[in-house]
């Protein structure tokens, strides 16, 4: 039975052509990029090329890019630099932010039923002691696009650090750090088809180093550089840009075909104010754990929310905060990527059409 993957928001199917290119040129990756011999210089060249390409993908300067193990580390690095100060965030952030903020003095902005926060609420929450504002660009469960550009414009002349979690926006929306006016931005390579365990932190300002050790990343993040991770993320970004229209069409087709299935449902969040790669569906008559098991038995992979919480078998915190726990327990997230086809969605609708209470 063919397996169909609709969980790209959790992680992308790996792009095998990138791995094949690596294997054909593996000797160029062997050295430590900080070594001065030939092996080191070969790896350093690849690392520098990737840094320039990744910086260009968000309209940043290469000197502003710190290579990390992923967005979770990047988010924690920012929060670690502002501990003890007043912080403003939202009630729909990723666990790498919510858990890192535990114990801090935080005001959480509440998202509306579309999953969107209000700039006015942010303005009302600011005090003279606010040091950090954290907002995700695209919500990882609803795909709602948050007003980060408006927030950046409002904060640009204030002594407040503005951090954006850009993980779910990367590759799907244009990201220009000069347009957003953020002070820092976190990204992960595996969401676009790169290797797991690699990400970047863009920052305008000097932050406290979270990982102590050597002098890598200009003393900003210790640890031997992950050359393959950087290379794979840079190569994957080029590919996902060419897949945007396909993914957009897949989402349109999914919504049109779902409307034809005899099943009671509502779309969580707002289709009009969302990215093109995620749809979160409230199935009124079926609990998500039942549906996910049923889909999996038919070769279809989806999720009930963030993969970082899925193992806990708890209802989505995001959906519970926006709606209620009962709705969260009946919702499934479908997220699309480069391997998906119209035929995959046809199969999904066929399977959904057969489901019985």
Enumerate the active-site residues.
308
Query: For residue 300, what are the β-bridge partners?
Result: 4
Per the structure block, which two tokens stand in for 201? 């932190």
Positive or negative: CA dihedral 164, 175, 115, 13:
negative
d(CA 90, CA 322): 11
Cβ contacts of residue 256 below 8 Å, gap of 6+? none
3-state secondary structure of 98: helix
d(CA 223, CA 214): 6
Alpha carbon separation from 157 to 154, 162, 186 (Å, rounded): 8, 11, 22
d(CA 208, CA 141): 30
**CA-closest candidate to residue 210, choices 48, 78, 54:** 78
- Burial of residue 123 (CB within 10 Å: 0-12, 13-18, 19+) is exposed
d(CA 240, CA 175): 14
Q: Are 256 and 210 in contact (CB under 8 A)?
A: no
d(CA 146, CA 60): 21
Alpha carbon separation from 293 to 154, 254, 259, 296, 344 (Å, rounded): 45, 20, 22, 5, 18
Strand order across the beta sheet in which 265-268 lies:
265-268, 278-283, 331-335
Per the structure block, which two tokens stand in for 352? 């959904």
């Amino acid at each position: 039975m063919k397996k169909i993957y609709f969980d790209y928001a959790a992680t992308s199917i790996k792009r095998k052509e990138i791995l094949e290119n690596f294997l054909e040129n593996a000797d160029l990756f062997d050295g430590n990029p900080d070594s001065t011999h030939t092996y080191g210089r070969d790896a350093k060249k690849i690392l520098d090329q990737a840094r320039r390409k990744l910086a260009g993908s968000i309209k940043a300067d290469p000197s502003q890019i710190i290579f990390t193990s992923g967005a979770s580390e990047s988010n924690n690095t920012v929060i670690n630099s502002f501990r003890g100060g007043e912080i403003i965030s939202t009630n729909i952030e990723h666990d790498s932010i919510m858990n890192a903020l535990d114990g801090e003095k935080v005001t959480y902005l509440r998202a509306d039923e579309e999953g969107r926060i209000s700039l006015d609420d942010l303005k009302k929450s600011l005090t003279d002691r606010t040091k950090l504002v954290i907002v995700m660009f695209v919500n990882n469960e609803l795909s709602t696009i948050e007003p980060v550009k408006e927030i950046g414009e409002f904060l640009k002349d204030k002594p407040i650090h503005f951090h954006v979690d850009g993980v779910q926006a990367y590759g799907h929306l244009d990201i220009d750090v000069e347009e957003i006016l953020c002070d820092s931005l976190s990204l992960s390579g595996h969401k676009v088809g790169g290797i797991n365990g690699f990400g970047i932190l863009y920052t305008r300002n000097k932050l406290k180093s979270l990982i102590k050790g050597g002098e890598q990343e200009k003393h900003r993040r210790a640890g031997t550089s992950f050359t393959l991770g950087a290379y794979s993320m840079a190569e994957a970004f080029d590919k996902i840009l060419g897949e945007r229209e396909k993914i957009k069409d897949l989402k349109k087709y999914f919504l049109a075909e779902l409307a034809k299935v005899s099943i009671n449902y509502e779309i969580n969040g707002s289709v009009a104010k969302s990215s093109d790669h995620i749809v979160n569906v409230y199935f009124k008559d079926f609990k998500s754990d039942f549906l996910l098991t049923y889909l999996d038995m038919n070769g279809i992979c989806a999720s009930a929310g963030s993969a970082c919480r899925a193992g806990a078998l708890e209802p989505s915190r995001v959906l519970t905060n926006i709606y209620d726990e009962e709705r969260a327990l009946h919702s499934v997230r479908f997220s699309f990527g480069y391997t998906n086809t119209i035929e995959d969605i046809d199969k999904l609708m066929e399977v959904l059409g057969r489901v019985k209470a």
